[in-house]
Amino acid sequence: MVKRKVGKYQLGRTIGEGTFAKVKFAQNTETGESVAVKIYAKTTILEHRMVNQIRREISIMKIVRHPNIIRLHEVLASQTKIYIVLELVTGGELYDKIVYQKRLSENECRKYFHQLIDAVDYCHSKGVYHRDLKPENLLLDSEGNLKISDFGLSALAEQGVRLLRTTCGTPNYLAPEVLSHQGYDGSAADVWSCGVILFVLLAGYLPFNELDLATLYKKINAAEFSCPFWFSPGVKSLINRILDPNPETRIKINGIRSDPWFRRNYISVRRGEDEEVNFDDIDAVFNDIEDHYVAEQVEGDDRGPLLMNAFEMITLSQGLNLSALFDRRQDYVRRQTRFVSQEPAKTIISTIEAVAESMGFKVHSQKYKMRLEGVSANKAGYFAVVLEVYEVAPSLFMVDVRKASGDTLEYHKFYKNFCNKIEHIIWKPAEASAAPCLLRTVTY
């Protein structure tokens, strides 16, 4: 078993992986607190000229301290890597809840919208504009509270500069003025995105959703959408005032707060006192990177799959009741899913390789970790999945399956198809024998 420690943090399994970084579960050995550690290779940052972008993202996350925003604890660096220590959020993405439930009740939507508006308003009060608000960037903690994440495209207001110029974000959630390339107010653009999110929560689908970008942009510019029949008059009125294509007449956050539909059951979040922000650790990482680093320790060998300890299993199950790990009722598919097998680890690996190749994927294997690469089902782009095998008990293995690149909805379809093809190696406890065991997600 290999054990890796970075400073005071004991690193565990990988819980997320993207193009430029991976995220690992970790435990603070001094306090016992569970955290998520986002890891960048310095060579990758330099090669892709991402220093300023990542430094800005980290700085912004230090500035925004709010109960409904994912918290940054600290930033560390070794000689080869940068470690961003974040709050561990275990409830998954709001996007996944929409996919599972199709659409949410009006009262539940209102609760999430309260928390979203509170957090966005706080960001704006700090001069921070998110610019990529969407359900996939809204996480849920173990108590179901919303947390805004991913400030990679955020902007920080500059003195004397009123309008932002960079066109960025996800097309379906972009405000018309962002598409015009004429400059836009970051606050008004974020409000538009919040309106699209509210529509999606209530309807279960996007108000603007065309495959052809030209047609999509035309409909966004004209605010050409219609509310389904189950929208109440109150929320329909509010959405129409938010999705106003004219940013000058679009409702502001103060107007949203005073709206009758919004005010129902509204309780303002108690923020607490603002903390003094210290950027010394960021300066140490980016200014004089080779002279300020933490120790990386690697113990043991890597002859077999990583062993998942009891603490990580308890975190996965969100409590001491481990039945959630094997409960068929938790089987809705998220960006990261996992199944359990009693087959030998090498059999699991060879089976996955064979099935993946039969599905048209290129397979890259390294010990007990695999990356499947191919094109998306609609041939529109690159799609990749990472799988990793862990030993949770003698002769019992857990396989983490994570989307690395591509659309989340497409990942849902891939996973269901993939599980059907490998069903013969998936362990089914007697009480959950009807279908594969899918475990809960830990998302950062």
The pTM assigned to this predicted structure is 0.69
In sequence order, which residues have a C-beta less than 8 Å from that of residue 361 and are 6 or more positions away? 372, 373, 374, 385
Q: For 3-88, give the CATH class.
A: alpha beta
Q: Coil, strand or helix: which one is 4?
A: strand
Spatial distance between the Cα atoms of 372 and 384, rounded to a whole number of angstroms: 5
Q: Can you give the pLDDT at residue 91? A: 86
The CATH number of 306-432, from 3.30.310.80, 3.30.1180.20, 2.60.40.1180, 3.40.50.1260, is 3.30.310.80
Give the tens place of pLDDT for each residue, 262-286.
999 998 876 655 666 777 677 777 7
In sequence order, which residues have a C-beta less than 8 Å from that of residue 410 and are 6 or more positions away? 376, 377, 378, 383
Spatial distance between the Cα atoms of 59 and 248, rounded to a whole number of angstroms: 30
Q: Can you give the pLDDT at residue 435? A: 37
Q: Which residues are annotated as a binding site for ATP?
A: 38
Give the tens place of pLDDT for each residue, 311-345.
455 455 444 344 444 443 344 334 447 788 888 88
Lowest pLDDT segment from 73-77, 372-376, 406-410: 406-410
C-alpha separations of 145 from 101, 139, 280, 313, 360 in Å: 17, 8, 31, 22, 39
Q: Which residues are annotated as a binding site?
A: 38
In sequence order, which residues have a C-beta less than 8 Å from that of residue 320 and are 6 or more positions away? 314
Spell out a b/e string for 208-232, using b for 16 or more CB atoms within 10 Å of the CB, else e: beeeeeeebbebbeebebebeeebe
Q: Can you give the pLDDT at residue 379? A: 59
Residue 96 a catalytic site member: no
Q: Which of 96, 121, 132, 141 is catalytic?
A: 132
Give the tens place of pLDDT for each residue, 170-206.
889 999 999 887 889 999 999 999 999 999 999 999 9
Q: Where in the chain is the domain with CATH 3.30.200.20?
A: 3-88
How is residue 79 annotated by DSSP? S
- At 436, the pLDDT band (50, 70, 90 cuts) reads very low
Lowest pLDDT segment from 44-48, 138-142, 355-359: 44-48
Which run of H or of E encompasses 334? Answer: none
Q: Where in the chain is the domain with CATH 3.30.310.80?
A: 306-432
Q: Residue 134 pLDDT > 90, yes or no?
A: yes
In sequence order, which residues have a C-beta less than 8 Å from that of residue 233 and are 6 or more positions away? none
Spatial distance between the Cα atoms of 222 and 231, rounded to a whole number of angstroms: 21
The CATH number of 94-263, from 1.10.510.10, 3.40.50.300, 2.40.37.10, 3.40.50.360, is 1.10.510.10
* 414-441 mean pLDDT: 65
